[in-house]
Structure 1
């Protein structure tokens, strides 16, 4: 979540399955990296897991509350979520309430279907590539301005900081109140850091540059 790094899932799955364990991959925003040719080797072994979860409202920018769960074994998913009561009437047809925590839900899949249908595989790939390109650009421009970059920018996450923790926290507070852009704080190997998640497909290079200027200004104000 902090760095965008992906664990060696293949070997982990082999080790876990050897002991009879279930492997769940919390893909959140990162599982979409699998569509990128450049990330294929990094994501190798993901298919060996038993279940996966990911969010379309993050990487694909559909409306909020669009989570996806994939499970290799239907009966396992049903046993986790299926509720029972005397007033429930079951049929032979698939009932979505047996596969999710809530019994009632809006038709989230319509927006997701529309995005996938409109963009197709190539369009989704390009969208995600753009997020990664913007993250790398963000990191490069911040580094040129004297900010420290703590992670290898492999996806859409950038971890950065100032000279010391106090300056980093004050800079973050100034950024959040500036209205120019927004990012969160975190801790990385005992250091206070600013966590940047490039998550909007429509973000332009000009907006990245504007955000970097906001960082520089926020740091200057914090240093007074």
Structure 2
């Protein structure tokens, strides 16, 4: 059995998208991209939009309660809050995004300098985190605008340069990512194959191990994520049967 039977080896969180406005007047989160993981939004409340830059260029996807949208690795995304936007976030490769599979769209000189990037992205200790989260969001928006405006003008150069710099920035830490993928999504897939083969042989012994599991939410104040205030969930399997 894998450590977590939560579907697909994914992670789960509840996101209240930031309400404060960036210098461009748009309320929302810090634009960023994941290099390996796919992310999904299931909109629970409110309305807004998802601004993205991908292989097709810049686009804006409207979000409202009930909307479901997901974006694959390399999609630069910015959550826009136009009124009480709350989202359930599913992220592939549980544990990998927390291991550094995300790069914010800071201006090119910062993304190209690991020390400068670390300083710009850090939230520091608990005091002043709200202000630092807003500052790094504003810095990421500045870089996002440069990429967007260049694309709209037909120039893909800044986007390609950002992708190359982002890859260089995470290259050393990526060596450990394979283990995270093997331990959760790959292990789940291999277990599912083993179960299908068992059922095909007439072996249904695993059904005796059926259990209900419940995700445990983080306690205290919501954390400061890239896109908003986060409530994370522990989806580790527990041996006890829930009463």
Instruction: Give the TM-score category using the shorter length.
Output: under 0.3
Relative to the length of structure 1, the TM-score reads 0.24
Of structures 1 and 2, the one with the larger relative CO (CA 8 A, separation 6+) is 2
Relative to the length of structure 2, the TM-score reads 0.23
Larger Rg: 1
More helix by share: 1
